[in-house]
């Protein structure tokens, strides 16, 4: 499948590298078409890897992974434009973390709204699927590295077919065994409000290599 | 141990009943000293059970469990008074759920503050310990009923000795195997902000008999 990945940080690289390893044709998008981190990534992985602008990544992909910092999410999508996003499966991994008052961060939106909902509201033609925002980048694409994959992931979004496409990547591709479908994109509030506890657990446990399992 | 329990709802009854079964001398507090639900509880359990006002419960207990609705928490403590709370171990199980806009509820305080912190700030002499707010009443006192107790609980508070007292009740009394100490009372923000995801999982799973396990 042709897939675009917006973001050159730990999350973007982790997702893009895994997708290439799975045989997908991946274009990593950045602000500039000649971004050095994207060039380094595209040169280092063996497989169908290329780089371009955020808009190029969107043009390239049937599915577009949004892996930028939450504070940049809407600006990045604005540079892509509503036309390119119309009809596309947009996988939203962002968290609205606000570090402006130091650690631990607060959320720039929460409680009666979420970044996932804001993205869907701003681009009504996009088929937004929120997932993978609840854990560390390494574990996102390699859940089996922790407790043989015996832990949980969540997914939500208004478009059932888009969710099914992403679910296949998560389960058959990344190896997730327990992905809980919470419903529509408004459920993103719950997923993003998990972050304040995640961040505190990171501090307490001294490592980001943990996840929650929903025991039922 | 002499213990007070403020609250006659599912959480209060669950906590009070378990404490009596463990051999503690428990007074259930309510707005009125002759509250019918408290009378029914005190009559039904066999052991050291009695009833009174919220203030009576505070006078009775070396440890006081606050098991009222979040919206009533500060008013209940006001009726108890700062003098009675000074020096006492106050176990805060409340969640600032706001149902005024329907389901799912929002939080009346979150992100840069929490109900746990507000309680500690309002009663600086109390030794506030936040715990047990993250799951269903039945599982609070019987973690072994789910997956043989293989799931997690959290605790936080500024007073180390108070946390140790509560920790003993949680582990040796209720049977919790994995209680994660997150640090000071400000960590209550993370614990209370878990609720929006808990509520959505309740809706999705169709039962409140679940909990999270921190896999690490």
- The Cα–Cα gap between B193 and B106 comes to 10
Q: Among all residues of chain A, which has the CA nearest to that of B210?
A: A216
Contact (CB<8Å) B215/A215: no
Q: In sequence order, which residues have a C-beta less than 8 Å from that of residue A57 and are 6 or more positions away? A: A4, A5, A6, A27, A28, A29, A64
Could you give the CA distance from residue B34 to residue B36 in angstroms, rounded to a whole number? 6
Q: What pLDDT shows up at residue A169?
A: 98
In three state form, how does the secondary structure of A129-162 look?
EEECCCCCHHHHCCHHHCHHHCCEEEEEECCHHH
CA B75 – CA B7 distance, rounded (Å) = 13
Do A38 and A51 form a contact (C-beta atoms < 8 A)? yes
Average pLDDT over residues A111-139: 98
* Chain B residues whose beta carbon lies within 8 Å of the beta carbon of residue A113: none
Q: Where does the pLDDT of residue A120 fall: very low under 50, low under 70, confident under 90, or very high at 90 and above?
A: very high
| pLDDT, chain B, mean | 98
B45-58 pLDDT, tens digit per residue, is: 999 999 999 999 99
Name the residue among B196, B207, B213 with its Cβ closest to that of A215. B213
Residue A156 binned pLDDT confidence (cut-offs 50, 70, 90): very high
Average pLDDT of the residues in B67-87: 98
Mean pLDDT on B84-101 = 97
From the list B180, B200, B215, the residue facing A213 with the nearest CB is: B215
Supply the pLDDT for residue A154: 99
- Rounded average pLDDT over B172-181: 98
Cα Rg of chain A, angstroms: 16
Structure ipTM over 0.90, yes or no: yes
Q: Give the residue numbers in A contacting B (CB under 8 Å), as ranges.
A: 101, 106-107, 110-112, 146-147, 150-151, 154, 180-183, 187, 189-191, 193-194, 196-201, 203-205, 207, 209-216
Size of interface A-B (CB pairs under 8 A): 108
DSSP bridge partners of A90: A64, A128
What residues of A are in contact with residue B209 (Cβ under 8 Å)? 216
pLDDT of amino acid B178: 98
The alpha carbon of residue B152 is apart from the nearest alpha carbon of chain A, in Å, by 9
A36-50 pLDDT, tens per residue?
999 999 999 999 999
The residue of A142, A177, A195, A201 whose CB has the most chain B CBs within 10 angstroms, and thus the best one to mutate to test that interface, is A201
pTM over 0.90: yes
């Amino acid at each position: 499948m042709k897939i675009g990945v917006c973001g050159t940080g730990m999350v973007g690289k982790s997702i893009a590298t895994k997708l290439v390893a799975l045989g997908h044709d991946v274009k990593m998008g950045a602000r500039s078409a000649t971004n050095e981190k994207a060039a380094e990534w595209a040169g280092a992985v063996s497989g169908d890897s290329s780089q371009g602008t955020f808009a190029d990544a969107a043009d390239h992909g049937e599915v577009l992974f949004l892996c930028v910092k939450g504070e940049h999410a809407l600006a990045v999508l604005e540079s892509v434009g509503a036309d390119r996003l119309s009809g596309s499966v947009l996988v939203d991994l962002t968290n609205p973390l606000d570090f402006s008052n130091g650690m631990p961060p607060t959320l720039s939106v929460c409680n009666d709204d979420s970044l996932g909902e804001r993205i869907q509201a701003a681009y009504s033609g996009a088929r937004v699927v929120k997932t993978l925002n609840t854990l560390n980048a390494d574990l996102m694409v390699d859940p089996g590295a922790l407790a043989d994959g015996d832990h949980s992931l969540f997914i939500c979004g208004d478009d059932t077919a888009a969710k099914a496409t992403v679910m296949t990547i998560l389960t058959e591709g990344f190896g997730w065994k327990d992905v809980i479908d919470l419903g529509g994109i408004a459920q993103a509030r719950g997923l993003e409000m998990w972050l304040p506890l995640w961040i505190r657990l990171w501090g307490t446990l001294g490592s980001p290599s943990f996840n929650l399992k929903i025991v039922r």
